[in-house]
Amino acid sequence: MTASDKLTPIPIEQLARWLFDDRYPDHRLGILRELFFYPQADDVFGMERYGQRLETPIGVAAGPHTQLAQNIIAAWMMGARYIELKTVQTLDDLSVTKPCIDMRDEGYNCDWSQELSLDESFSEY
């Protein structure tokens, strides 16, 4: 198997089958159910913000991983309640040398790219 830096969206029908497949009741998307975040009323993480109950202030930052529906769902199952989606850009056919983060002195993300096409992003979000 060769490594690839290309993201491969999963058709929504396949993703739904994986999520609702009862043949494997102990896990979803390869994550054991016992590791899922199950919010409780007395959780130390819980808080009120803007008049709404926030189960946890934990989340994931934008990146290639937040372009794929299965990763967004997996983050939610593990307790992420803030999910920063990667910005969808109209120039969706750029060729960017990877890795695209320069860490020689300070860290800068010098990438202006989108791994998915606009249509693929629309389907995932």
pLDDT band, very low/low/confident/very high, at 16 (cuts 50, 70, 90): very high
What pLDDT is recorded for position 95?
66
Alpha carbons 100 and 11: distance in angstroms, whole number: 28
Within-domain flag for 37: yes
Within-domain flag for 65: yes
For the CA atoms of 47, 67, 9, 35, the dihedral, rounded to the nearest 10 degrees, stands at: -30
Average pLDDT over residues 4-11: 78
Within-domain flag for 1: no
Q: How many structural domains are present in the chain?
A: 1
Within-domain flag for 70: yes
Higher pLDDT, 81 or 6: 81
What pLDDT is recorded for position 24?
86
Residue 42 reports pLDDT greater than 60? yes
Within-domain flag for 54: yes
User: The domain containing residue 62 runs over which residues?
Assistant: 12-89
pLDDT band, very low/low/confident/very high, at 38 (cuts 50, 70, 90): very high
Q: Helix, strand or coil for residue 57?
A: coil
Average pLDDT over residues 71-80: 93
Query: Which residue in the block uniquely carries the two structure tokens 């999963």?
Result: 10
Within-domain flag for 53: yes
What pTM was computed for the model?
0.70
Half-sphere exposure of 108 (CA within 13 A, CB side): 6
Within-domain flag for 21: yes
Which residues are within 8 A (CB) of 96 and not within 5 positions of it... i.e. 6 or more apart? 111, 112, 113
Query: Could you tell me if 7 and 115 are in contact, meaning their C-beta atoms sit under 8 angstroms apart?
Result: yes
For the CA atoms of 56, 61, 66, 71, the dihedral, rounded to the nearest 10 degrees, stands at: -40
Higher pLDDT, 46 or 119: 46
Within-domain flag for 103: no
